[in-house]
Amino acid sequence: MPNSISLHEEAIAWHKQNCFDQAEEKYKAALKFEPNNADILSNLGMLYYHSGKYEEALELIEQAIKISVPKAVYYYRLGLVLVKKGEITNSIRAYQQSIAIDRKWIASYINLGILLFEQGNLTRAEQILGQAIAIDPQRSDSYHYLGKILTQRRRYDEAILAYKKAIQIEPTNSDILYDLATVFQVKNSSEQNQANLYFGDAYFQQNNYETAINYYQSFLESQSKETPILTEDNARAYLNLITSFYHIEQEETAVNWLKKAKEIYGNADEIIIKLLEFLNFSGQVNEGIVVAKEASESLLNNLYFNKINLLKLPILYEYEEEIEFYRQRFTQGLDIIKQQISLETSEDKEKTLLACGLHTNFYLAYQGKDDKELQMKYGQFFQQIMAANFPEFVIPRTMPKLEDNGKIRVGYISNFLYSYHTVTHLFSGWLRYSDREKFTILCYQLGNPSDIETVKLIQENSDGFYQLPHQQILDSNFIKNAAQKIIDDNLHILVFLDIGMHPYMTIFGSLRLAPIQCTTWAHPVTSGLPTIDYFISSDLMEPPEAEKYYSEKLIKLPGIGIAYAKPDITEPVKNRADFQLREDAIVYLCCQSLYKYLPQYDYVFAEIAKRVPQSQFAFISNKNPHVTKQLRQRLKRAFEKIGLNSEEYCVILPQQYQNDYWNLHLIADVFLDPFQWSGGRSTLEAVACKLPIVTCPGKFMRGRHSYAILQQLKVTETIAKNEAEYIEIAVKLGLDKEWRNQIVAQMIQNYPYLYSDRTCVTALEEFYQYSIAL
């Protein structure tokens, strides 16, 4: 039964995701229970502020102030709104009142200092920002505006120090970089070279690569005449210059500048490694191979260099032939690195851990091959490093006695226990429907603290929820403390929900933290780790003789293996034009991550388009523009082969928020499942959105999710046996609206077979009981 607290929490969660309509609805529903709740009024006021409805925002925040004890946050928010309404004097008073209530309310100090600066009251602005820095010395905006004030007062050296402090805190802020460049320029003509460097940095961060190139070239041409030493400034300028040339697709020029750096400075290892990191991250692995050939002899024997060079896999493949090339390169690279590592001394162990610990071979499974042998080879290599560094955490664990009440203690661990993440959506049913009379459920969230909705979801369905935040860098102390925490909880069984998706999951999966350790199919490929005993899968998803594809013992739960709740799909608020789609088109939704689409199947889209002239294919872009461009080029080639223009048929949309993503489903006609790596959560949501699914089951479990979902739904007419039949089904669904509607009607009728099926949870718990009795 909803109440003001739960509705308020839901509103905040929607608000954080920028889903303003949903947040407003929840805030208003909460206010029906508590119309004089100042916090809800204030939060709804901020929603209106973020929506540009400043009059409504002002009314609500003022109402919150009137009915509540004074709170600094209310006056701070009042100051924000008054600025937007142009009432600067009143805004200054609001910020001052906020500070009077709470002397440590840092945001009010900063905003007050900025307003005073903009009003020309430099002395008072400097005092206020100085107080802000004293309270919180880690706010870049305090130093930034202090730098502006000092620049206006012509205290240039002090301004430079303030700007540099701001950059230390926020190194990619182009505004700070530009202001720092400007102060060097106005200070003295002899400082023009430093100005060139920071102007280059500013434009680089703005993605204005052509302008950045001009400034960096001016800086480097001057520097090369002055010193043969590769300084931090020189290294950054070369790296950003070369990266800029890659961004504007001048790869040959980029390599020439890299050669020039090596000629001038001799050892450009730092530039090469950083450049490789950029190229690999952006999906330009082919270009990275060219750069690696320029490596010095010292780099060729560098463990970290070989890891990022030889073990990196493309996000997307241009041609099918590349798959085998990179697979062989990965295999050979792993052999090279295994021969190169030394684990004899403490220094050797730590060096190897730092070089290899945060690597994941996530993209290996997207090649569509049998990965068992490679996964085992990689897993044994990785576990060897972990065992050397943390020997106390790899010893066998004695099975604890059952709790006094006879309960079995089961732990679930993930780096992605967030309300919006697929991992939580797929496996929360295991928690929700667990038999708490027989099991104690503990959950461990690695990474940053979870959002409110997640905490609520996990805490309601477990006996303990522990958040173990870590940094992006590898931290041995974090590993030790987190591992000891889990061991101290005396688990009988620990389930790793997603080994292979985040490096820390592989790290902890390589340790022995419980007597029985399992993984499952959030990343649906064998872990290859000798420390993982069982792989918990789905009976319908697994192919015949599936056991041979796993290093773990395979456990097949009935049905799709999860108790997935039917999502509450919101009504569409956008039309096709909002998604660049034609009203008269047959829209085929292709909404999977782009790395699921292998090049050998691109022709399928073209063949469908050939037979359904009104078709449009809607893809979702990768966050990396280079990867999105690769797919666009691949589609262009495939369509050109049969005389069609891909741009008339294919739309690659930006990444979508949840409700817009569902909205896109609701205005589409057909859901096209990829070959070899099927949709899981996306298919379950497409079914809920009443979209017919076209799928062709693959050889491995990861290519059979949609097949299993349709089998459990008892709607199998759109399951193809091969590529040709896949095309036939897709074409028929596009052209035969009556048949399409029949399929949808059958899906809706059979929803009870699919959603929230608890039989798998019963089977899962029977497995748990059986496993500890062995």
Buried b (16+ CB within 10 A) or exposed e, 60-84: bbebbbeeeeebbbbbbbbbbbbbe
Q: Report the pLDDT value the prediction gives residue 272, as an integer from 0 to 100.
A: 87
**Residue 6, both tokens:** 């739960």
Residue whose C-alpha is closest to residue 386's, from 411, 406, 408, 358: 358
pTM across the whole model: 0.83
Give the percent of the chain with pLDDT over 90.
Answer: 79
| Residue 437 neighbours by CB distance under 10 Å | 8
**pLDDT (tens digit per residue) in 590-648:** 999 999 999 999 999 999 999 999 999 999 999 888 999 999 999 999 999 999 999 99
In the chain, domain spans: 393-565+759-768, 576-754
- Same fold? 393-565+759-768, 576-754: yes
Kindly report which listed range (219-223, 355-359, 405-409) carries the lowest average pLDDT score.
219-223
Question: Is the distance from CB of 355 to CB of 304 less than 8 angstroms?
Answer: yes
The answer to whether the CB of 45 falls within 8 A of the CB of 75 is no
Res 226 pLDDT > 60: no
With cut-offs at 50, 70 and 90, classify the pLDDT of residue 189: confident
Amino acid in the structure at residue 597:
Y
**Per-residue pLDDT band at 188 (split at 50, 70, 90):** confident
Any residues with CB less than 8 A from the CB of 221 and at least 6 apart, and which? none
Residue 526 pLDDT exceeds 60: yes
d(CA 255, CA 258): 5
Class of domain 393-565+759-768: alpha beta
pLDDT tens-place string over residues 420-456: 789 989 999 999 999 999 999 999 999 877 666 777 7
Q: In terms of pLDDT, which residue wins out, 449 or 28? A: 28
User: Whole-angstrom Cα distance, residue 728 to residue 219?
Assistant: 60
Report the mean per-residue pLDDT for the chain.
Answer: 93
| Nearest residue to 135 via CA among 108, 167, 173 | 108
Q: Which residue has the higher pLDDT, 625 or 324?
A: 324
DSSP state of 630: H
Residue 593 three-state SS: coil
CA dihedral 348, 351, 357, 358 (to 10 degrees): -170
Report the distance separating Cα 180 and Cα 230, nearest Å: 22
In this predicted model, what pLDDT tens digit does every residue of 83-112 receive, in sequence order?
A: 999 999 999 999 999 999 999 999 999 999
> Mean pLDDT throughout 460-477?
88
Instruction: Work out the average pLDDT over 22-43.
Output: 93
Per-residue confidence at 504, pLDDT binned at 50, 70, 90? Answer: very high
What CATH number belongs to 576-754?
3.40.50.2000
Closest CA to 14 of 57, 58, 46: 46
Q: Which two tokens stand for residue 581?
A: 């789609």
